[in-house]
Amino acid sequence: MANVNNGTTFDATKKMVSYLVSKGKNAKIKSSRYNSSIKAVEIDDAIIDVASFLKKLTFPGSVSDLSPADERSISGTYKAKLVVVNKNFSIAGFSKGDSFYLLNVHTEKGSIKSKALAPNALGLDSAEYTNLDTFDRAVINGISKLKIPGDVQIAITELYRSVSKNSNKTDTIPYSISAKNAINSLKPQDKQAVGKDFGEVLSLRWYLTQPHSKGWTRFGFETGSNAALVDYYVYKKVK
């Protein structure tokens, strides 16, 4: 792990920003969260691997990870790397040994809108349910009618099947291989939407199979998802 305050220079940071801009990249200088004397190169680009990214730009730099604490001090949120120039690069004014921090702030936009996967979007708030089979059919039917990208539709279908087939009486549900592959293929923002909105449906389905739900007689969702603090309701007999 590389550390902050390892000799990186503001001059190298400025040169790298200029170089990236000359290559048509959206880059600027960013000050550290806690120490204004520490600067980083902030770039907004879909970078999967920084070393490969620099190689495509023909930039001669080796890349190192930072410790979690040092990374937080620079960005707090985004991934930061230490780049050390490994040979003279006169075209951009760099000398071997120059170094700077590279901070990628790119955030890929999701494909689905807020609440697009919520219970009311699936039509699940239009009825009250008294058995799981009826509810399962309603969920799958609701998913099939959603106007969402195919990868998201496949992912939530596979997730629901994993939860509905679960027989474990624990907080952990083993997802099928197809469910894991489907959810891993989604964009980060779409994964968040699935967890936030469709998670209400998954949570209810899981709860109804657990020992602490024993005795339930009917369940459902508030109409239009209007109850801000209530994801779902379950009526049960209490002795």
pLDDT digits (tens, 9 = 90+) for 59-112: 999 999 888 888 878 876 778 889 999 999 999 999 999 999 998 887 666 788
Residue-wise pLDDT tens digits, 128-165: 999 999 999 999 999 999 999 999 999 999 999 999 99
Q: pLDDT-derived band of residue 7, with 50, 70 and 90 as boundaries?
A: low
Residue count of the chain: 239
- The pLDDT, as a whole number, for residue 184 is 85
Q: Which two tokens stand for residue 117?
A: 């996967």
DSSP characters for 56-111? HTT--EEEEEB-HHHHHHHTSSSEEEEEEE-S-BGGGTB-TT-EEEEEE---PPPS
Alpha carbon distance 139, 9 (integer Å): 57
E strands of the chain, at which residues? 26-31, 39-44, 61-65, 79-85, 99-104, 216-220, 233-236
Q: Where are the domains of the chain?
A: 10-104, 119-236
Task: Report yes or no on whether pTM surpasses 0.85.
Answer: no
Residue-wise pLDDT tens digits, 11-67: 999 999 999 999 999 999 988 877 777 889 999 887 778 899 999 999 999 999 888
Counting Cα atoms < 13 Å in the Cβ hemisphere of 88 gives 1
Beta bridge partners of 83: 63, 100
